[in-house]
């Protein structure tokens, strides 16, 4: 389930494979991802040089020398293989680059998508302009988070999953961050902010927790060990990993998604 750390790791790999190279051939093996690929998608890319591969929240943005942008989202199951041995089922789009690298986009569930934006268009593209701050960026701090949570009557879990509050968190890392910050996912978001709008202590802890879980996850991306790398996610019935906490991890459903938390130490 690609969230910010997985997308960032993908960005770094794509950046190495594609930046400075031209698209020599683009093969569309399946036209319909989440959105149908635009008409002439392959032809518009072929011959273009990649200036950089950037990321905004969970979006990948390939900057082309023409100023156009290739906007991509991994959805639920999307991922890229660089130098695939051979094409496999669900390899929907293949980029052949002038440096000899071949990049295949594989996405069984097809929740991912690719879009081509004209120069300057990305600056007003709805999906991008609505995003909250980058959690690892400078503008994300206690004041910014407090402002986004103030007056929100919904749960902390739902609020943090909202990409307008902070960009790039998904179900898994919201669960992990709330446990680290000792905050209940059921708590009303606005209770972290004083009536005058100032962040309570918990907001500072939440900012640190979000940054911490994301940074650690990015660091461990390249080790794709098997097993569940998370402390809380998908650990219903296990003992709370916090030192000295006697709680057991519980699973509840919020907004149709699984939430895992420790009812003893998360308040």
Partner DNA sequence: ATGTCCACCTGCTGGC
Partner DNA sequence: TGCCAGCAGGTGGACA
Judge whether 57 and 108 are in contact, CB under 8 Å.
no
Q: Which of 58, 152, 180, 235 is catalytic?
A: 58
Cβ neighbour number for residue 43 with a 10 Å cutoff: 9
Q: Cβ contacts of residue 30 below 8 Å, gap of 6+?
A: 92, 93, 110
Beta carbon nearer to DNA, 164 or 215: 164
Q: Which of 2, 5, 133, 135 is catalytic?
A: 2
Kindly state whether residue 255 participates in binding DNA, applying the rule CB under 7 A.
yes
Beta carbon nearer to DNA, 16 or 153: 153
Q: Of residues 163, 182, 200, 211, which one binds DNA by CB under 7 A?
A: 163
Q: Of residues 59, 79, 80, 140, which one binds DNA by CB under 7 A?
A: 59
Kindly state whether residue 127 participates in binding DNA, applying the rule CB under 7 A.
yes
Annotated catalytic, 56?
A: no
Kindly state whether residue 58 participates in binding DNA, applying the rule CB under 7 A.
yes
Annotated catalytic, 3?
A: yes
| Cα-Cα-Cα-Cα dihedral sign, residues 146, 128, 130, 186 | negative
Annotated catalytic, 241?
A: no
Q: Provide the minimum distance between the beta carbon of 155 and DNA in the complex, in angstroms, as a whole number.
A: 6
**Which H or E run contains 86?**
none
Q: Using CB under 7 A, which residues numbered 67 to 96 contact DNA?
A: 73, 75-77, 89-90
Kindly state whether residue 34 participates in binding DNA, applying the rule CB under 7 A.
yes
∠ CA 62-43-31, nearest 5°, is 80
| Partners of residue 81 on adjacent β-strands | 104
Q: Provide the minimum distance between the beta carbon of 213 and DNA in the complex, in angstroms, as a whole number.
A: 14
Backbone φ and ψ of 61, nearest 5°: -130, 110
As a whole number of angstroms, the distance between CA 159 and CA 211 comes to 17
Q: Which of 81, 187, 257, 263 is catalytic?
A: 257
Backbone φ and ψ of 130, nearest 5°: -80, -10
Q: Using CB under 7 A, which residues numbered 198 to 217 contact DNA?
A: none
| Partners of residue 115 on adjacent β-strands | 71
As a whole number of angstroms, the distance between CA 45 and CA 24 comes to 9
∠ CA 159-78-34, nearest 5°, is 75
Annotated catalytic, 257?
A: yes
Kindly state whether residue 158 participates in binding DNA, applying the rule CB under 7 A.
yes
Kindly state whether residue 55 participates in binding DNA, applying the rule CB under 7 A.
no
Residues that bind DNA (CB under 7 A): 1-3, 34, 57-59, 73, 75-77, 89-90, 108-111, 126-127, 130, 151-155, 158, 161, 163, 170-172, 189, 233, 253, 255-258
* Active site amino acids: 2-3, 58, 257
């Amino acid at each position: 389930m690609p969230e910010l750390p997985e997308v960032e790791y993908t960005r770094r790999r794509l950046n190495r494979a594609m930046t400075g190279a031209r698209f020599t051939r683009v093969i569309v093996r399946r036209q319909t991802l989440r959105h149908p690929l635009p008409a002439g998608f392959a032809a518009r890319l072929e011959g273009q040089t990649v200036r950089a591969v950037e990321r905004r929240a969970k979006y990948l943005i390939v900057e082309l020398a023409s100023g156009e942008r290739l906007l991509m989202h991994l959805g639920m199951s999307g991922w890229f293989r660089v130098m695939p041995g051979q094409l496999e089922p669900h390899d929907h789009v293949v980029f052949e680059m002038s440096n000899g690298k071949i990049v295949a986009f594989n996405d069984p569930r097809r929740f991912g998508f690719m879009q081509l934006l004209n120069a300057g268009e990305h600056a007003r593209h709805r999906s991008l302009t609505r995003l909250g701050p980058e959690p690892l960026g400078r503008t994300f701090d206690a004041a910014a988070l407090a402002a986004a949570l103030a007056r929100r009557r919904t749960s902390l879990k739902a609020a943090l999953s909202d990409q307008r509050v902070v960009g790039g968190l998904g179900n898994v890392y919201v669960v992990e961050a709330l446990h680290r910050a000792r905050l209940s996912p059921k708590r009303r978001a606005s209770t972290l902010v004083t009536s005058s709008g100032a962040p309570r202590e918990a907001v500072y802890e939440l900012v640190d927790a979000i940054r911490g879980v994301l940074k650690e996850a990015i660091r461990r991306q390249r080790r794709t060990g098997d097993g569940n790398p998370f402390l809380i996610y998908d650990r219903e019935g296990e003992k709370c990993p916090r030192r000295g906490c006697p709680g057991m991890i519980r699973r509840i459903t919020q907004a149709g998604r699984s939430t895992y938390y420790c009812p003893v130490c998360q308040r």
